[in-house]
Structure 1
Amino acid sequence: MPSPLVLAAILFAVLALALFVAGFYAIKQRRLLGTAASLTLAILLLSLAGLCATISVATQGYRAFTREEVAAVVETRPTGAQSFNATFRFPDGREKSFSLAGDEFYVDAHILKWKPIANFLGLHTAYELDRVSGRYVRLQDEQLRPRTVFALADDKLVDMFQLRRRFPLLKPLVDAEYGSATFMLASERARFEVRVSTTGLLIRRVLEDSL
């Protein structure tokens, strides 16, 4: 079923089309005041339809949540001194593997918290894992040794974080927008859960007899 935002965009677009038709009919009848009113309202509704459609596209990739949940399962496997492989498995079935340099893996995310009025449009607190990188324990290594960083988020035409900053009109709908990050030692073969809650990211090791 389409999201409330998509339904709202369709409704606004249909109403705008009807008003455009009414406006052109008023032109034929030479009712200038009626024409101006119809076309102005039609343009406004068309703008609202475009805004709803844009927000719907921009929030693709963000997963809504109301409590702590697993954002990804990560398996680490050392491949050498201060180097390891990290495989991410996401709730939607996607899988990505990365070769990282460092002692730890570091994950960050975008988190968007909407105001209650936006909840009626189907917008709820949502997150998107953004990047993964290798992290060194020693500051000197961090400054001098190779750095590795990769994208976890898929490319999209419009991203809600950038959209919010470009259009102040969205400010009344957004309660908070922030980044959150966490890291964990990757010195041995192990499995972890990257979890997200309303307070941010955290990592828990999955205890298993064998991996």
Structure 2
Amino acid sequence: MDWAMLLQLPSTLLGILAVLALLFALVQLVALRQRLQARRPVAALLRTLFLLVGLALALVLAGAGWSLRGYRLLGEEAPVVTLDARILSPQRWAVTLVWPDGQTRVVGVAGDAWRVEALVLKWKLPALLSGLPPLYRLDRLSGRYDDPAEEASAPRTVVDLRQAGAFDLVALARRHPDWLPLVDTVYGSGAYLPLVDGGHYTVSLMRTGALVARPDEDTAERIAHPL
């Protein structure tokens, strides 16, 4: 069986097969003890072989199921924020942010594109595969110019998205890494897309800790074919 086929199997099925393989190994262990008591070395050797095969198969199936669960978790995405853009004047925009809990905020952005940045706390592999998702804290929303010369000289907008007074586990992990031994790293992640009038965008966080920005179908069409 190749890995492509294995990844299509549900992890629960692989777990059940691992339990069955383990039961097979236990049956062989009982049979091995009986053969040894009966002083039948050849039969005992055969049961030993079956026992090792059963144990190896149980370990492989259990490991495959665990790995498959981990890969599925890494493929999940959590919604972070949605953005709706409305043009005010050339390179000046009103952007409405909507959080998953329904909180909204309207801010002004200058430039040709928007960029969202966040701090991400990523767990070490055992905690990640067990289902513990990465943590994040939105940091800022800023405008971005297509022309590097404009980026250096034109007015810039940076909007602070941090929540004042909130308990900051990300900052705690950076200042006192020994307090949280399961933390792998804390790093910045960002995503940006061009601004279009009436554009609608979604930002989500993958379990790998990467921010992903996507326009809806109509917005993507206008980005690809600007007027």
Q: Report the TM range for the smaller structure's normalisation.
A: 0.5 to 0.7
Hey, what's the Cα distance between the residues in 2 that align with 1:131 and 1:180? 11
Q: State which of 195, 199, 217 in structure 2 corresponds to 1:207.
A: 217
Q: Deviations over 1:91-130 (max 9, x none)?
A: 01100111011010010111112236768xx964222221
Q: Secondary structure at the match of 1:175?
A: strand
What is the aligned length?
Answer: 145
Structure 1 residues 1-211: aligned runs within 5 Å = 67-115=76-124, 124-156=133-165, 158-199=167-208, 200-207=210-217
TM-score, normalising length from structure 1?
0.61
Q: Which runs of 5+ in 2 are unaligned?
A: 1-72, 220-227
TM-score normalised over the length of structure 2: 0.57
Deviation string 1:52-93 (CA, Å, 9 cap, x unpaired) is xxxxxxxxxxxxx96212211110011111111110101011
CA pair 89-157 structure 1, distance change in 2 beyond 3 A? closer
> Which is greater in Rg?
2
Higher helix share: 2
4+ residue stretches of structure 1 with deviation over 4 A?
A: 116-119
SS of residue matched to 1:137: coil
User: How big is the alpha-carbon RMSD for the aligned residues of Structure 1 and Structure 2?
Assistant: 2.6
Higher relative contact order (CA 8 A, sep 6+): 1
Give ranges in structure 1 of 5+ residues lacking alignment.
1-64
How many angstroms apart in 2 are the aligned matches of 1:195 and 1:139?
A: 27
